Amino acid sequence: MSETNLVRLATEAGIGVITIDNPPVNALSPGVPEGIITALRAAEADPAIGAIVLIGAGRSFIAGADIRQFGTGRARLPLGSRVYDVLDACAKPVVAAIHGYALGGGLEIALACHYRIAVPSAKVGLPEVLIGILPGGGGTQRLPRLIGPRAALDMIVTGRHVPAPEARTLGILDAVLADGADLRAGAIAFAQSIAATRPLPRVRDRTDRLAEAREDPALFDTVRKSIARRARNQKAPYNCILAVEAACTLPMDAGLAREQELFAELENSDEARALRYAFFAEREAAKLPDLPAGIAPREIRTAAVIGAGTMGGGIAMSFADFGIPVRILDSTPEALARGMDRIRSNYATSVRRGSLAQEEMDRRLARIHPVAAYADLADADLVIEAVFEEMDVKRPVFRALDQVMKSGALIFSNTSALDIDALAAETGRPDDVAGTHFFSPANVMKLLEVVRGTQSSPETLVSAMALGRKIGKIPAMAGNTDGFVANRSRAPFNSEMVILLEEGCLPEQVDRVMVDFGYPMGPFAVGDLAGLDIGAADRRRRAAANPNYRTLPIADRLVELGRYGQKTGAGWYRYEKGDRTPHPDPEVARIIAETVARLGVAQKSFTDQEILHRLLFASVNEACRILEEGKAYRASDIDVMWLHGFGFPRYRGGLMFWADGIGVRAVHDQIAAWHQEHGERWAPARLLTDLAATGTPFREAKAAPMV
Ligand code: 3H9
């Protein structure tokens, strides 16, 4: 019997069972790999042990290396002294017994075992690329040997989690236990059945599957081409491909050495640092530091949505996609029927594209129930209002909900900017009310901005955050302020991009800069997709509320001319019938020139960097105001919102992380200079000035207590 806190060895029926116990996910933190090695050596030396089982305590096998160790120089042990090498040299068969997750270094350990078995709910994967590195524990060499380079490339380049039944088909697993079977008992029985097998099947000795690469010499270039758009500006996906290529051309040990070289190029790259930051920022966003610990969320078994428009339909789909039955109500039977048609057609598109099976579409649709009256929603655990974005349309909905909903029901609004307290005041239960701001398309976009009303109870807020996770979203908390955190921090970017047109830019120039930076689409093309009338309505509302509001005459002129974007065939760009490709439009250049002449603004030319900084610095400044007013908990929450609400390139970490890369003083000085040049809209936020004075990075900025 050998024991450390993190790894235990016990003997049962002639089998040595090594248990890794490093909660919450058995990451390979310092001490864990060493503990496994000690236990393996002890088991190997014990004549009473015929075979060995490696298993995880708690909810997972092993979720991989400890991500916090990367960049510190402590993440990797030198070649030859690592678990994988000890497993390779082990004279007794070792069985990896997998439940929960076997990811990254965890799957790599399993691949170095002689056998792998799992429960049906287990998932395996090599997600290193998602944190900007590559599998550095032999995964790029063993996986292609086991399942062939094509399937290995797919897993390593996408980082996707593969469910156990598929992993069995691919050849990663030797067996999947029956549903409900006890993994430990099953693994011991399996180990007994193979204890005498010799020679031991080692993945490193296999070469048969590598023939696939010789038969298809274009394989690697084809994969490179297929990721070119998605992976632009990134290195990790390409190093992953090079490593798998090495597996197909070099002997095992040389391939492992090549993997190490390619890994070393990535570990401290800007890309890896940003992606690690994003990983932890998402988890941090789940924490509500000013609420009492241990509040249980209310249980949500049934949901309801008011409004069957684009947002309401997408929200209903989000529930249905995650197995929650949902009722949907609209003001007229026609609107409801149109909404249900749109939902059906969205699902049908996924089926046509092959991303959803017809039976799954049928199951999801069957969970969405159109209803005719408020009374039909009464016993739902939760209702989300998603009607037209006008206070006077939303108020009566809240009054009606207050009348019918059962006591204890959660009442949420999908408003993107309106005062959540005013809506809560329409009910006799403001403590049950909060905002849940989805982003369009609601069933696709990952961000859920949870808006805290003055009277929202801690239980309501905890429930809203838990709801987000339950339906696959990344929730982050915002205070009640016009536009909340996401749209408020984005608003100056939206103004600035149009102001740039007044000063001499064209939409296609700004869009190119932002796409080069890493956005999937330029902001003008996105505007055309969303509809320019929506932005115009929001500007009218803001202008009415604020006499100093900076108007955007060029944008207003486009809307006056009926150029609403894709839906009218013209907006910032022109569109051919039935085609979504934006074409630069000389008519837009003419409208800009005409407006500029009327306004008498001086024209200049802009560098790409000026364009980028004008848009993003405007938002960084506003984000500082949001923090100093206590409308967000932390700068990293704003980053999470930009990553998942606005398509900010993940490998740049997020708005504030990116700004830290430039440096808080440089950002401040530029903003102060623009304040002199352009006036009040560039006045530096107080927090920005303070941070610059002390040289404190944005990500360490202390927000005021949330109000
Ligand atoms: C790697 O393996 C490199 C190798 O090739 C070897 C090279 C030499 N490290 O996500 P959750 C924490 S790279 C440190 O909320 P879930 C997480 O921060 C690694 N911490 O749970 C959180 O902490 P807190 C490859 C980790 O059930 C807590 O655990 N592996 C790690 O929703 C719970 O996490 C990956 O990239 C880690 N590896 O999801 C997998 N993993 O409570 C990364 C988790 O303080 N992990 N934590 O906020 C995941 O994808 C998810 O955590 C997982 C569970 C799916 C496992």
pLDDT digits (tens, 9 = 90+) for 551-592: 999 999 999 999 999 999 999 999 999 899 999 999 999 999
Distance (Å, whole) CA 306 – CA 383 = 7
User: What's residue 76's pLDDT?
Assistant: 64
Dist. CA 706 → ligand 1 center (Å): 28
Cα(29) to centroid(ligand 1), Å: 11
Atom of ligand 1 nearest to the CA of 77: 8
Nearest CA to ligand 1 atom 40: 63
CA of 149 to the centre of ligand 1 (A): 26
Number of structural domains in the chain: 3
Counting residues of the chain whose pLDDT is more than 90, the rounded percentage is: 93
- Annotated active-site residue 267? The verdict is no
Instruction: Assess whether the C-beta atom of 83 lies below 6 angstroms from ligand 1.
Output: no
- Relative to the CA of 161, which ligand 1 atom is closest? 55
* DSSP 8-state assignment for residue 305: E
Residue 374 clears pLDDT 50, i.e. is over it:
yes
Q: Residues with Cβ < 8 Å from 169, sequence gap 6 or more?
A: none
> Which ligand 1 atom sits closest to the C-alpha of 70?
13
Domain-located, residue 281: no
Would the CA dihedral through 595, 599, 602, 604 be positive or negative? negative
- Residues 477 and 510 occupy one common structural domain: no
Spatial distance between the Cα atoms of 139 and 522, rounded to a whole number of angstroms? 37
What pLDDT shows up at residue 2? 44
The residue from 603, 631, 648 where one domain ends is 603
Question: Does residue 327 fall inside a structural domain?
Answer: yes
pLDDT-based confidence at residue 79 (cuts at 50, 70, 90): low
Structure token pair of residue 105: 């270094």
- How many Å lie between the centroid of ligand 1 and the Cα of residue 660? 25
Is residue 289 assigned to a domain?
A: no
Atom of ligand 1 nearest to the CA of 59: 27
The answer to whether 668 and 684 have CB atoms below 8 angstroms apart is yes
DSSP string of 557-578, one letter each residue? HHHHTT--BGGGTBSSSB--TT
* pLDDT confidence tier of residue 626, bands split at 50, 70 and 90: very high
Is the per-residue pLDDT at 82 higher than 90?
no
Q: What average pLDDT does the segment 655-681 reach? A: 97
Query: Which atom of ligand 1 approaches the CA of 130 most closely?
Result: 36
The pLDDT value recorded for residue 239 is 98
Give mean pLDDT, residues 538-560: 89
pLDDT value of position 71: 80
The CATH number that applies at residue 410 is 3.40.50.720
Could you tell which of 59, 67, 124 is best to mutate to test the pocket of ligand 1, judged by most ligand atoms within 8 Å of the CB?
Answer: 67
How far is Cα 243 from Cα 223, in angstroms, rounded to an integer?
13
Residue 641 Cβ < 6 Å to ligand 1: no
Which CATH number belongs to the domain containing residue 251 in this structure? Answer: 3.90.226.10
Q: How far is the CA of 25 from the centre of ligand 1 (A)?
A: 7
Q: Are residues 453 and 522 in the same domain?
A: no
Query: Is 113's pLDDT higher than 80?
Result: yes
Instruction: State whether 539 and 459 are in the same domain.
Output: no
What is the reported pLDDT for 566?
A: 94
Residue 633 lies in a domain: no
Ligand 1 binding pocket includes 137 (Cβ within 6 Å)? yes
What one-letter code names the amino acid at 70?
A: F
For ligand 1, say whether the CB of 104 is within 6 Å of any of its atoms: yes
Clarify whether residues 513 and 570 are in a common domain. Answer: yes
Flag whether 142 is in a domain.
yes
- How long, in residues, is the chain? 707
Report pLDDT for 75.
Answer: 64
What domain range is 409 assigned to?
303-482
Average pLDDT of 337-352? 97
What's the pLDDT band for 508 if we cut at 50, 70, 90? very high
- Closest-CA residue, ligand 1 atom 27, reads 25
pLDDT of residue 80: 53
In a domain, 510, yes or no: yes
- Residue 62 CA to ligand 1 centre (angstroms): 9
Instruction: Name residue 18's beta-bridge partners.
Output: 9, 54
- C-alpha R_g of the chain: 28
Atom of ligand 1 nearest to the CA of 159: 36
Ligand 1 pocket, 692 CB below 6 A?
no
Nearest CA, atom 24, ligand 1: 283
> 446 and 512, same structural domain?
no
Categorize the per-residue pLDDT at 1 as very low, low, confident or very high, splitting at 50, 70 and 90.
Answer: very low
Is residue 609 in a domain? no
Q: Ligand 1 within 6 A of 68 CB? A: yes
Map residue 149 onto helix, strand or coil.
helix
Which of helix, strand or coil describes residue 451?
A: strand
H or E segment and range at residue 2: none
* Residue 131 CA, closest ligand 1 atom number: 36
Cα 473 to averaged position of ligand 1 atoms, centre (Å): 17
DSSP 203: G
Report how far ligand 1's centroid is from the alpha carbon of 321 (Å).
Answer: 25
> What backbone torsions phi and psi does residue 175 show, to the nearest 5 degrees?
-160, 150
Listed residues 268, 291, 313: the one ending a domain: 268
At 534, is the pLDDT very low, low, confident or very high (cuts 50, 70, 90)? confident
Same-domain status, 243 and 358: no
Examine the domain organization and report whether 209 and 321 are in the same domain.
no
**pLDDT (average), residues 140-164:** 98
128 is annotated as an active-site residue: yes
Tell me: do 32 and 177 sit in the same domain.
yes
CA distance 252 to 139: 11
Query: Looking at residues 343-363, what average pLDDT do you find?
Result: 97
Of 603, 637, 669, at which residue does a domain stop?
A: 603
Tokens for 409, please give them. 């029901």
Ligand 1 centre to CA of 388 (Å) is: 40
Tokens of 256: 């492992």
Say what the pLDDT of residue 705 is: 94
Quick check: CB of 65 below 6 Å from ligand 1?
yes
Indicate whether 358 belongs to any domain.
yes
The DSSP output letter for 677 is H
The CA 63 to ligand 1 mean position distance, Å, reads 6
Q: Which of 3, 12, 34, 128 is catalytic?
A: 128
Instruction: Name the average pLDDT for the chain.
Output: 96
The finding on whether 101 has its CB within 6 A of some atom of ligand 1 is yes
Ligand 1 proximity of 25 Cβ (cutoff 6 Å): yes
Q: Which of 108, 259, 508, 622 is flagged as catalytic?
A: 108
Q: How far is the CA of 132 from the centre of ligand 1 (A)?
A: 14
For range 284-294, the mean pLDDT: 96
Q: Which atom of ligand 1 is the closest one to the Cα of 123?
A: 55
- Residue 585 Cβ inside 6 Å of ligand 1? The answer reads no
For residues 510 and 438, membership in a common domain is answered with: no
Strands (DSSP E) along 421-492, which ranges? 433-438, 447-452, 474-479
Angle at 434 between CA 428 and CA 435, to 5 degrees: 135
Same domain for 118 and 236, yes or no, is yes
Q: Are 410 and 466 in contact (CB under 8 A)?
A: no
Distance CA 270, CA 276 (A): 10
Q: What is the pLDDT of residues 9-55, one digit of tens each?
A: 999 999 999 999 999 999 999 999 999 999 999 999 999 999 999 99
Which residue owns the Cα nearest ligand 1 atom 5? 135
Same domain, yes or no, for 346 and 463? yes
Q: State whether 93 and 235 are in the same domain.
A: yes
| Helix (H) or strand (E) segment spanning residue 90 | none
Which CATH number characterizes residue 561's domain?
1.10.1040.50
Evaluate: CB of 131 within 6 angstroms of ligand 1: yes
Neighbour count for residue 177 (Cβ, 10 Å): 22
Q: Which ligand 1 atom lies nearest to the CA of residue 68?
A: 14
Give the residue, out of 20, 25, 60, with the most ligand 1 atoms within 8 A of its beta carbon, to mutate for a pocket test. Answer: 25
Residue 105 CB less than 6 A away from ligand 1: yes
Under 8 Å between Cβ of 143 and 155 = yes
Rounded Cα distance between 105 and 83, Å, is 10
